[in-house]
Amino acid sequence: MKIIGIEEHWVSKKFAELYPAEGQPGRDAPIEVLTDIGQNRIDILDKQGIDIQVLGHGMFPATTASLSDVQATNDQAADAVARFPKRFAAFAALPLSSAENAANELERTVRQYGFKGAMINGTIDGQFLDNPRFAPLLAKAESLDVPLYLHPAYPMSTISDSYYKGGFSDLVGFTLGSTAAGWHWEVGLHALRMIVSGVFDRYPNLQIIIGHLGELIPFFWERIEYWLEPRTEGLKYSVREYFKRNIYVTTSGYATTPPFMLALDVFGADRIIFSVDYPFSPIQPAVEFLKKIPVSEVDRIKIASGNVSKLLKL
């Protein structure tokens, strides 16, 4: 059974200096592991049983990074894919201060390097992708037939200062706002906003990916159906239908059965993709979990590699 992971992280030479220093909140994996997209990483994949990683870049300020630095980052990823074409693929990093530049860079990396889409980290200047300013990027992704991976990032300061600071350490506050809760709520909201604002009616073939077994959406499914769905107007389909048409979820960061079964019930096996969230989550438990989840072998293969091979044309 081929196993492909698609929420697998790295940091480029251009942006390594922005990674939190030793002992600072947010330094959740060694920088030397994040910056390694060479033979050492391949050796780890061999040992742990991962056939292909789709590299996704983070750790740069999306609206202040220069176009040239983002292009250099994508060029570095392209070099790694060229050296290990059977083991790596890549999502583009994008210069999101300009949707036009982002669209052009997405097209450059897809056409020149064969990139499989783009990874977008959190909101941009506090704005979600349903904002009209991002129309050129959404249109370009749809026309290129590549997905956008909505990955979490720490909420903007106007939210984090109110919600995630208090009578506890900076590390606890950062964790509340990120890996434990805050950024997962935000990505779930991001996906729902794209649905109810009509993004997928305007771009019906656009595909997005969200991680962490649906970013809390499965837990709130009954509430979404009961409260949100009857109040949406002017959409072509019900809210739930867009999840079948336009949204994939990954297993990133999870290796336990109950949340997986909930996501499976909501989204179905055809919309779930295996991921690790490497190196922030360990590979071995994720692979062992994949091999033991209570699904048919047909569905296990879909989740392990079949769905993503079709989506990304791997």
Count Cβ atoms below 10 Å from residue 75 Cβ, excluding itself: 15
User: What is d(CA 237, CA 240) in angstroms, rounded to the nearest whole number?
Assistant: 8
CA distance linking residue 290 with residue 198, whole number of Å: 34
Which of 79, 265, 277, 299 does the annotation list as catalytic?
277
CA distance 76 to 95: 16
Residue 277 catalytic?
yes
CB half-sphere exposure, 106, CA atoms < 13 A = 28
Alpha-carbon distance of 27 to 210, in angstroms, equals 22
Distance CA 211, CA 201 (A): 23
Question: With the CA atoms of 272, 2, 108 and 202 taken in that order, what torsion angle do they form, in degrees rounded to the nearest 10?
Answer: -20
Measure the CA–CA gap between 111 and 101, rounded to whole angstroms: 15
Which amino acids are annotated catalytic? 277
